Structure 1
Amino acid sequence: MSLPEQTPEQEENRKKKWEMPDTYVILFAVLLIAVLATYNVPSGTFERESMDGVERVIPDTYSRVGGNPAGFMDIFLALQEGMVQSGGLIFLVLFAGGAFEVIERSGAIKGGILRAVHKTKGKEFWLIAIVSILFALGGAVGAVANSVIPFVAIGVIIARALKLDAMVAVAITFGATFAGFNVGFLNPYTIGIAQSIADLPLFSGMILRIIAFVIIVGVTILYTWNYAKKVLNDPAKSLIGVLGESNVSSQDLKAPFTTRHKWIMGFVGSALLFFIFATIRFQWSINHMAAFFIIIGIVSGMIAGMNYNKIALTFLDGCQKLVYGALIIGVARAILIVMENSNILDTAVHALSVPLEGLSPVMAALGMFLANGMMNFLVPSGSGQAMIAMPILSPLADMIGVTRQVAVQAYQFGDGFTNSIFPTSGPLMASLAVAGVPWIKWAKWMFPLLLIWAGIAIVMLTVGVLINWGPI
């Protein structure tokens, strides 16, 4: 007897029985695993010493100590304490989101991008290059990351006008943004948080990161242009089909870029440069940067002609958009609180150091890079991964003879690269949905570029180890 056919609704429900757990669900599961580990993993600690105001692990001093297994209430107390201890970082993320929301609502970003499109009309390579550089800079300073999603629609308009495909649209917006995000030499969400945990001066090591930024973004532009040129010469070589022109209007590629917009972009650029100076000259910290973003938001809103209510509400809208990403920091911190309180965090560091002890510092640094890349499948949040990885990588770096600056960059490369291809990355999947690009097609296009990025990362991390890359 044949089984009755399922209705479309039943088939849809069957497909929805399993879905990828949310990042918060994954982190809570990791928290429960950490709690269970407090009953099974031996407790131990390393001796530490203070060098130049930074507490460092003394190698070969690990010893067993009494344990302190976590109870039921400790799970939820750790969540609360994680939020409290991470308050400075959480508010940095929220205030940065508020400031960038004011800048975006002013129309300065969109106007600047479309002005670049207008200026490079008929020069396809320069158009792709300039738009990519603008988005890469946005990713490098944290102005554009998750917020790149609505800008993908602009990329589609540009690609359609050039008679290209949606693959190029995603590449020059999302792809370029994360090419810059990979290095993030002035990104408060990644470098800022990671260096704060590693007790490194804020945004230190910038020169080498800027060099890596130029190389990675340059390679990304050339890779994108090579594909675009093939499609321009033969549309049949497009992986997904060239976009039609039926929905393009002359207004699609027009947006005002007024004197106010120029003042806003000039002010924001000058403000960020001043902050770099202040971190060096006055040793400004994460808290200073969070406060500085409030100033950037208020002044940008005033230049844009917003009244006080509009500035406040727009700033709060930006904060609200980043609540999801900001609170992940506290949840990730809760995992470490459980491990620290039960004295198993140093045990984990010791266990990781044992297989790395026989490796050269270069190979150990590359192992950190690979481990962070794999971790990003489960924890695709850059700030959340920093909170989990850096408290382990910092003492581990001390143990295996790798500088903490190298450890920070190993984390950042591992996080940034895989954001561009792992289907657990929310911004990636949303950007592909906006452009109508299947993930399989994107992965096929992106994978060779990912390998090139990885090669650049290997060279940079190797150089970092060989030059003993420190705070400067």
Structure 2
Amino acid sequence: MSRTLRMPHTLVLMFIMMIVALVLTWVLPAGSFETVINESGREVVQAGTFGLIEDAETLPPWHLFTAVPRAMADVQGIIFFVLLIGGSLAVIRRTGAIEAFLGQVIRNFGNNAFGLIAFGVFLFAAASATLGMAEEYIPLAAILISLCVAMRMDTVAAIGIMVVGYCVGYGAAVLNPFTLFIAQDIAELQPGSGFGFRALIFWPFLIVGIHHVWSYARKVQRDPEASLVHGIASAQPPEETELPEMTGRRKGILAATGLALAVLVYGIVEHGWYLIELGAMFIALAIVVALIDRMSFDNLAKTFSFGASELAGTAILIGFAKSIALILEDGQVLHTIVNAMAAPLIDLPAELSAVGMLGIQSVMNIFVSSGSGQAYLTMPLMAPIGDLVGITRQVSVLAYQFGDGFMNMIVPTNPVLMGILGLAGIPYDRWFRFIFPLILKLLALAAVFMVVAVQIGYS
């Protein structure tokens, strides 16, 4: 009987990495760097000060289990913030406002194929870059496929609009609370800081994504046999999902959501808002949305609780990922690993080191597709490595979000991607042929922006 190779659940991978971390504390020499307070008031490691620690404490095996609740206590601010975001977004989703808006926009393009692709990619990217949306797009797949097929495109082009948009939004995120804010918090940066540069580079990535999807779609329009799913019965338009109609209340909800995002940006940039203020804003938004929708308070409470529960798995994942770094810190080998990883980069120009960090983050996404999980797994290492090689922590975060977001278009461990491909009936090998050239283009552009970020001292 044949067995298929299956990637284990992310939580299983995290626990395996915790075991590896514990074993490393037994076999690696303990060591540490001296730290200094830089001009920004942030504690950073100082290059050239690494030294071994004599008679370091050996961690017992049960430390593997005590690390988890300690880690979750350490990151409780982020965990509660994620739960509040989940509850608020669930309230917005229940009103159907976002689905109604996206559905109306998509339908209004008629036979304008380029307009549908350009504006569609932009909409998905913008929602992901600001609200961290992903799974919410799945109900729109059927109508998008039907419209594209009616315009003599194919299923791959339709799903390309959605997936390229969502992943460009994550890779070039400007306010994503599930990836960017978490990575910045780990790096001891103000969540949402560096907004201007991120808002600027969002557009080149968007243009590259649109061009790739449009080039393929135009080729299929000219020659239907050029379709990557030509002759594949499963890749036919599925039955359309009935989307809600746009009403006055839903317009009001969209306006309230847009206003909340604008206030969020203002608060971050002008007043240094942090997790408490951001969480409060999303609670207030949920209440305002419920009032506009005339939702009963019981339904508001149930919906908010359900939305928070949907992200309970993410919250637990954050705790387990933090446990890895905590075990390495307790065993006093975190700096030992940082010193070893930084050694090959010390003599390189900072620009090349930054590109190398982008490569590391891209490879890590193959194994840990969860954005928050990858942040807690890699940023405790990448931030101090950046300190040692002369890279600002904002640039280290940029490497993380590029590697996480863009690779999500192609890694088969991404459940959102595989769910969308399964719904559309697109074999993974055909999707790989479509998306791989775009991955190369986006990562090349990301490398350019990493160099620019280093040269301008992006912080």
> Could you tell me which residue of structure 1 aligns to residue 128 of structure 2?
139
Structure 1 residues 203, 159: CA separation in 2 closer, same or farther (over 3 Å shift)?
Answer: same
- Letter of the structure 1 residue corresponding to residue 310 of structure 2: K
Could you tell me whether the CA contact under 8 Å between 1:161 and 1:248 is conserved in 2?
no
Offset of 1:246 from its aligned partner? Answer: 8.3
Could you tell me whether the CA contact under 8 Å between 2:18 and 2:324 is conserved in 1?
yes
> Could you tell me which residue of structure 2 aligns to residue 8 of structure 1?
none
Structure 2 residue corresponding to 1:33, chosen from 20, 25, 34: 20
Looking at structure 1, the residues matched to 284 and 243 of structure 2 have their Cα atoms a distance apart, in angstroms, of 30
Looking at structure 2, the residues matched to 338 and 263 of structure 1 have their Cα atoms a distance apart, in angstroms, of 48
- Among the aligned pairs, what percent are the same residue? 35
Q: Which moved more, 1:37-46 or 1:126-135?
A: 126-135
Looking at structure 1, the residues matched to 158 and 107 of structure 2 have their Cα atoms a distance apart, in angstroms, of 16
- Unaligned 5+ segments in structure 1 are 1-10
- Letter of the structure 2 residue corresponding to residue 131 of structure 1: G
Structure 2 residue corresponding to 1:46, chosen from 16, 24, 33: 33
Offset of 1:281 from its aligned partner? Answer: 2.3
Q: Which moved more, 1:135-144 or 1:447-456?
A: 135-144
Offset of 1:448 from its aligned partner? Answer: 0.6
> Could you tell me which residue of structure 2 aligns to residue 420 of structure 1?
409
- Unaligned 5+ segments in structure 2 are none
> Could you tell me which residue of structure 1 aligns to residue 374 of structure 2?
385
> Could you tell me which residue of structure 1 aligns to residue 431 of structure 2?
442
Corresponding position: 1:318 with 2:307: yes
Match runs of 1:356-435 below 5 Å: 356-435=345-424
Corresponding position: 1:349 with 2:346: no
Q: Which moved more, 1:180-189 or 1:290-299?
A: 290-299
Deviations 1:91-112 (A, max 9, x none): 2222212211211221111111
Corresponding position: 1:182 with 2:171: yes
> Could you tell me which residue of structure 2 aligns to residue 57 of structure 1?
45
Looking at structure 1, the residues matched to 132 and 353 of structure 2 have their Cα atoms a distance apart, in angstroms, of 32
- Letter of the structure 2 residue corresponding to residue 109 of structure 1: I
Match runs of 1:92-103 below 5 Å: 92-103=81-92
Offset of 1:206 from its aligned partner? Answer: 1.5
Aligned residues: 455
Deviations 1:14-33 (A, max 9, x none): 435x4211111111011001
Offset of 1:253 from its aligned partner? Answer: 7.4
Looking at structure 1, the residues matched to 286 and 82 of structure 2 have their Cα atoms a distance apart, in angstroms, of 13
> Could you tell me which residue of structure 2 aligns to residue 6 of structure 1?
none
- Letter of the structure 1 residue corresponding to residue 156 of structure 2: M
Looking at structure 2, the residues matched to 399 and 140 of structure 1 have their Cα atoms a distance apart, in angstroms, of 30
Could you tell me whether the CA contact under 8 Å between 2:132 and 2:170 is conserved in 1?
no
Match runs of 1:54-453 below 5 Å: 54-65=42-53, 66-241=55-230, 255-453=244-442
Offset of 1:247 from its aligned partner? Answer: 6.7
- Letter of the structure 2 residue corresponding to residue 283 of structure 1: G
Deviations 1:430-449 (A, max 9, x none): 11111111111111100111
TM-score, normalised relative to structure 2: 0.95
Looking at structure 2, the residues matched to 379 and 325 of structure 1 have their Cα atoms a distance apart, in angstroms, of 12
Offset of 1:305 from its aligned partner? Answer: 1.9
Structure 1 residues 217, 368: CA separation in 2 closer, same or farther (over 3 Å shift)?
Answer: same
> Could you tell me which residue of structure 2 aligns to residue 456 of structure 1?
445
Structure 1 residues 157, 297: CA separation in 2 closer, same or farther (over 3 Å shift)?
Answer: farther
TM-score, normalised relative to structure 1: 0.92
Deviations 1:412-444 (A, max 9, x none): 111111111011111111111111111111111
Looking at structure 2, the residues matched to 320 and 253 of structure 1 have their Cα atoms a distance apart, in angstroms, of 26
Offset of 1:145 from its aligned partner? Answer: 2.1
Looking at structure 1, the residues matched to 238 and 366 of structure 2 have their Cα atoms a distance apart, in angstroms, of 37
Looking at structure 2, the residues matched to 27 and 57 of structure 1 have their Cα atoms a distance apart, in angstroms, of 26
Offset of 1:154 from its aligned partner? Answer: 3.5
Offset of 1:161 from its aligned partner? Answer: 3.5
Offset of 1:69 from its aligned partner? Answer: 2.2
Looking at structure 2, the residues matched to 187 and 247 of structure 1 have their Cα atoms a distance apart, in angstroms, of 31
Secondary structure, aligned partner of 1:56: strand
Corresponding position: 1:15 with 2:3: yes
Looking at structure 2, the residues matched to 209 and 126 of structure 1 have their Cα atoms a distance apart, in angstroms, of 25
Secondary structure, aligned partner of 1:256: coil
Deviations 1:94-135 (A, max 9, x none): 221221121122111111112112322121111222222111
Offset of 1:332 from its aligned partner? Answer: 0.4
Secondary structure, aligned partner of 1:49: strand
Looking at structure 1, the residues matched to 341 and 128 of structure 2 have their Cα atoms a distance apart, in angstroms, of 32
